[in-house]
Amino acid sequence: MKRIHGRRMKRMESNKELEKDAFFHEMFHRNCAEREAYNETLYTYEEYVEKNRQFLEDQWKKKEAL
């Protein structure tokens, strides 16, 4: 039973990480659209996450709480 539980927990953690990554990418694409609208230079995904890590983490926590 413990073995199954452990696998399930890993799968759940993996799914959460995938969901979080998808959320960060969605926010990145929104940022790209906004920056294009203002004719601002676009960031790479890595630059965006680096510059906005705390904001993204806070937004993810809010989303999870819903």
The closest alpha carbon to 30, from 56, 54, 50, belongs to 56
**CA 19/CA 11 separation, integer angstroms:** 12
Side chain identity at 8, as an amino acid letter? R
Confidence band for 7, pLDDT divided at 50, 70 and 90: low
Which pLDDT tens digit goes with each residue over 27-52?
A: 999 999 999 999 999 999 999 999 99
DSSP at 38:
T
Domain spans, the chain: 18-65
